[in-house]
Amino acid sequence: MRIGVDYYPEHWEKERWKTDAELMAKANIKVVRIGEFAWSLYQPEENRFCFEWMDEILDFFRDHQISVVLCTPSATPPKWMTDKYPDIFQDDIHGNPKIFGTRKHYCFNSKTYHAFTRELVTKIAERYGRHPAVEAWQIDNELGWANTTRCYCEKCRAEFQQWLKKKYGTIEELNRRYGTVFWSQIYNSFEEVIIPRAGACYDTCHDTQGQNPALLLDYYRFSSDSVIRFAKESAEIIRRYSDRPVTSNLLDAAVNSGTGIDYFKLSEQLDFVSWDNYIEFQWGIAQAATVSRDHALLRSYKKQPFWVMEQQSGPCGWSKMGPAPTPGKLRLWTYQAVANGADTVVYFRWRACPFGTEQYWHGILDHDGKPNRRYEEIAQVGSEMERLNRVFGTLKPQAKIAIVKSFDSEWSHSIHKHVENFQYDSFLLDFYRPFYQMGLSVDFVTPHDDISSYALVLAPALLIVTEEEKENLERYVRGGGTLLLTFRSGIRDEDNNMRKETVPGAFSELAGVRVKEYDPQFQKETGSSGVFGKAQSKLWCDVVEPVSAETLGVYTQDYYSGESCLTVNAFGKGTVYYLGCDLDGDAMNRLMKYLCTRHGLSPVTYPIEGVEQVEAQDGEHTALFVMNHNPYPAVVPLDRIYENALTNDEEKDTVTLKPYDVAVLIWKKSF
Ligand code: GLA
Ligand code: ZN
């Protein structure tokens, strides 16, 4: 585990670099990420390239023994290019071309942009692929940032038509599967197919609402594929010249959720994954559980340790700022990342920039460049990491619980949300939170992953499954696994059309139930009780009829009072729960606790509100990270004897943490 910074040497006088490198070394900062927006320095004109400036920077870091993540600068095309080749721009959802000025305004299907990117990436990779300072590569910056995954231009339309032709073969097949007979949408050729942008209907609809749902889902898939193809192209060029690993900084930030890229698929193109973690800033304040969930997602995309490529290090925002991180929080956020499986945490940014858009986006240092309280805190983290590295290897939580995350289902839910207030992402979080509170790590998996190593798998609102995915889940349960399904699962086909089988469609046999009818909770809520105690549902109620299953919970209100809302079914050697309604937080905690008790999962220690407890292993040692997210002290009971890896004290009975404080404990023995 180690720390780094996002650094922009080109923003500062050269004379300053040395001071920066010395301050970095003093704080045990081991790595810098550079160059992700520097296209106009590399290529000031179409046929003129400059590398001397970067040669100097890389040699400088080599001499100072700080390693570098070198980026491809495709997030910011230079002015001459946008002037001469305006076809590189995206069109927004209303069909308006974007303009020069910020970043990420290029189209992932512009052949011109692909060609320019290939050319520059080749030159950079050729020149620096084996430079001793370069330890890794970052492709572009935050692919999909600010709704840029989906472009609505004519280039995309032409590419999309090709994509469809490959997928469907004939237009008749597309018409059949899209159900274009509805509202006179039958196409005579692929060339007629539109891209679903805004503008078809303004009355009761906004944006693309009302467009054909099969077309929309395909367009989302195509757009995600386009971004991945773009990233893949750069990654492949780099690998021709360099043996250093390639990443890209993902954007699963709690506040920023949903880029429209299938991150499981994108991750296949990367050697390791990383993400940008902003917690308290202009656009929101994230809950600790949500950030923990985001780390868990990153850990899951490649099932290996990940990096935080941008970690908040000061008060930030563009036009106005979020709060200054309270003393202790920078350290706490770093440990939260490490506990959940990050092996490198890179702070954004080293020093606040005095010019440009992000003058308010503070880094470790303020504009004046002088060491301050945030620097001292990060230096403390740096020296603690050194200490911990003498004890531990690469630590990773070993989750026995998994939540299924499906991008197809996520996109389908975003097209048709079923009922006001339903949001797939936050619904998954509702299932993550109880385990987070119990100190039990959770991985995220796709419906087609091998899930046989998990004791418990939850597949909330898994709307769309393919035949193979359905069989995969069945195989898991048949072999002895425990699966929880919920309302709105298995009811749509791969074309985003409703299945004709009785709900829960693909999962009827597995769950051993039939849903007689359902009641979307629009401006109402319904009570229930069962193994989860008493509960209120605010989103959805399936009226469940057990076929081979048994009832574990019933509604207590409305015309379906007495009918089942939760069931359990024996299937092969395993068990399937079907939850027909959403539950409030307390009931959810009780239900997850019930599942843990029934299926041999015991919490690490005693849950304490606001204290995150994560157990991680390096193959030899088990570390227990105890992190106090509360603004007040916490006394955490321990049921084993531990050694405190940061103080070498023995900790038994309890460990006391100051506000935002952290303890890293090594399990010594049981009482
Ligand atoms: C993103 C980007 C950075 C920077 C920060 C702050 O995460 O990757 O370049 O712009 O936000 O806005
Ligand atoms: Zn486009």
pLDDT in tens, 120-164: 999 999 999 999 999 999 999 999 999 999 999 999 999 999 999
Q: Name the closest ligand to CA 227.
A: 2
- pLDDT at residue 457 is higher than 60: yes
pLDDT for 253 equals 56
| Candidates 36, 159, 280, 310; catalytic one | 310
pLDDT at 431 over 90: yes
pLDDT band, very low/low/confident/very high, at 606 (cuts 50, 70, 90): confident
Mean pLDDT of 2-6: 98
* Strands (DSSP E) found in 292-422: 306-312, 342-348, 401-404
Angle between helices 424-438 and 407-415 (to 10 degrees): 130
Residue 350 to residue 372: CA distance in whole angstroms? 12
The mean pLDDT of 391-409, rounded to a whole number, is 96
Distance 156 CA to ligand 2 centre (A): 4
Q: pLDDT class for 201, splitting at 50, 70, 90?
A: confident
Is 563 close to ligand 1, i.e. is its CB under 6 Å away? no
Q: Are 508 and 486 in contact (CB under 8 A)?
A: no
Q: Which residue has the tokens 């749509």?
A: 492
Please tell me the pTM assigned to this model.
0.97
Residue 463 CA to residue 470 CA, distance in Å, equals 11
**Residue-level pLDDT at 202:** 66
The amino acid that residue 382 corresponds to is: G
CATH topology (fold) of 611-670: Immunoglobulin-like (2.60.40)
Q: Give the confidence band of 200 by pLDDT, cuts at 50, 70, 90.
A: confident
Residue 252 Cβ inside 6 Å of ligand 1? The answer reads no
Strand partners, 308: 275, 345
Token readout for 509 is: 């046999």
Ligand nearest to the CA of 155: 2
The predicted-structure confidence for 33-46, as pLDDT tens digits, reads as follows 999 999 999 999 99
| Pocket mutation for ligand 1, best pick of 6, 104, 141, 350 (most atoms within 8 Å of C-beta) | 141
Q: Indicate whether 251 pLDDT > 70.
A: yes
What is the token pair recorded at 234? 């750069």
What are the φ/ψ torsions at residue 363 (nearest 5 degrees)?
A: -105, -155
Maximum separation of any 2 CA atoms in the chain, in Å: 77
Position 669 scores a pLDDT of 79
Domain 401-598: which topology? Rossmann fold (3.40.50)
Please give the mean pLDDT across all residues of the chain: 96
Give the pLDDT confidence score for residue 463 in this predicted structure.
98
Tell me the domain boundaries of the chain.
2-154+207-389, 401-598, 611-670
CA distance from start to end of the chain: 30
**Nearest ligand 1 atom, CA 253:** 7
Statement: residue 603 has pLDDT above 90: no
Q: Is the pLDDT of residue 537 over 90?
A: yes
CA–centroid distance, 5 to ligand 1, in Å, is 13
Q: Are 346 and 3 in contact (CB under 8 A)?
A: yes
Share of the chain above pLDDT 90, in %: 94
CB of 142 within 6 A of ligand 1: the answer is yes
147 CA from centroid of ligand 1 (Å): 14
Q: What percent of the chain has pLDDT over 70?
A: 99
> 2-154+207-389 with 401-598: one CATH topology?
no
Q: Tell me how far the alpha carbon of residue 142 lies from the centroid of ligand 1, in angstroms.
A: 8
Q: How far is the CA of 267 from the centre of ligand 1 (A)?
A: 20
Q: How far is Cα 194 from Cα 411, in angstroms, rounded to an integer?
A: 19
Instruction: Please report, for residues 162, 189, 412, the alpha-carbon distance to residue 165 in angstroms, rounded to integers and kept in the order given.
Output: 5, 10, 22
Instruction: Look at residue 378 in the predicted model and tell me its pLDDT.
Output: 98
Best residue for ligand 1 mutational test, from 39, 140, 142, 145 (most atoms within 8 Å of Cβ): 142
Which pLDDT value is given to residue 257?
A: 57
Q: In the prediction, which pLDDT does 42 show?
A: 98
- Is 141 close to ligand 1, i.e. is its CB under 6 Å away? yes
pLDDT at 265 > cutoff 90: yes
Please tell me if the CB atom of residue 276 comes closer than 6 angstroms to any atom of ligand 1. yes
pLDDT of residue 668: 83
* 643 among known catalytic residues: no
Catalytic residue flag (residue 310): yes
Residue to probe by mutation, ligand 1, list 348, 349, 357, 360, most atoms within 8 Å of CB: 348
- Given this model, what pLDDT does residue 660 score? 98
Q: Is the CB of 310 under 6 A from ligand 1?
A: yes
Label residue 392 exposed, middle or buried (CB < 10 Å: 0-12, 13-18, 19+). buried
The mean pLDDT of 52-65, rounded to a whole number, is 98
39 CB within 6 A, ligand 1: no
Residue located nearest, by CA, to atom 7 of ligand 1 = 276
Give the pLDDT mean for 519-541.
98
Q: CATH says 2-154+207-389 is which class?
A: alpha beta
* CA gap 442, 401 in Å, rounded: 5
Quick check: 256 pLDDT over 60? no
Q: What is the pLDDT of residue 208?
A: 87
pLDDT > 90? residue 116: yes
